[in-house]
Amino acid sequence: MSAKTTPATLTLMVYDPRDATDLNVVEHPFAQGTTTSLSATIPLSLGGLSGFHTFRGVYSTQAGLNLDTVGQLFLPPGSAAVETKQGYYYGSYAFQQFLWQDPDKPSRGWGLFGQFAASDSNPNPVGASVFLGLGGSTPGRVDDRWGVAWFDYMFSAHLKTGLAAIGEGLQDEKGLEAYYDTAIADHIRFGPDAQVIWPGTPGKATAVFLGTRARLVF
């Protein structure tokens, strides 16, 4: 359900927290709990340039693995009971702000975007996350698209503690991606993409991906 008010657009969603491709979700909906999400999106212009700010809160009644006991998963069967934790919550703040808009078509332009999120850290494996980026269209080539973004996944302290009990380490996982998408013709797009991932597992090498993407629209 969505309601547009002054000054915010409010959106309420109630859904099954399980994978929607699982046939059991269709046959037995909400059998393992319900997730409720409420968000408010507020438009805000700065210097005559459009921007949006979204606040979101989520609560689920679904049970998950108690991350304080994750180390017990590696013990011999029957030596210890793995516990579950009922319910979890999550909150986020996201924004996008144009820094340039095409005067002929204000929906085109480039700007800053990002999101800051936090959870209860148990049973959520990610305690907090951040991503920030720049992207959009370029003056002079408004049909081209480009972007660069950075993220940081801060894993749950409960998960880190559970893994440390069995001698396994875990740290934040970070990544960076940049791309440029060139409009060669009205229906053909092509451009390079580069990604770098600093994994959360200590000792793992930094992952680098270089590639190109092409799209033909009929």
Q: How far apart are CA 12 and CA 120, in angstroms?
A: 21
Virtual torsion, Cα 138, 144, 148, 153, nearest 10 deg: 130
218 versus 119: the higher-pLDDT residue is 119
Residue 171: name the closest of 204, 123, 208 by CA.
Answer: 204
For residue 177, the model assigns a pLDDT of 98
pLDDT digits over 153-169, tens only?
999 998 888 888 777 88
Residue with tokens 């999101």: 115
Residue located via tokens 């092509």: 190
Strand partners, 133: 113, 149
Higher pLDDT pick, 73 / 209: 209
Three-state DSSP state, 70: helix
- What pLDDT shows up at residue 80? 58
Of 55-59, 80-84, 121-125, 194-198, minimum mean pLDDT range: 80-84
Q: How is the chain split into domains, by residue range?
A: 2-216
d(CA 136, CA 10): 26
| 3-state percent breakdown (helix, strand, coil) of the chain, nearest 5 | 10, 60, 30
Residue 61 pLDDT more than 70?
yes
> CA 144, CA 147: separation in Å to the nearest integer?
11
Among 72-76, 157-161, 186-190, whose mean pLDDT is lowest? 72-76
Mean per-residue pLDDT of the chain:
91
Whole-number Å distance between alpha carbons of 61 and 44:
34
Question: pLDDT category, 58, cuts 50, 70, 90?
Answer: very high
pLDDT bin (cut points 50, 70, 90) of residue 138 is: confident
For residue range 77-136, list pLDDT tens digits in order.
655 566 788 899 999 999 999 999 998 888 899 999 999 999 999 999 999 999 999 999
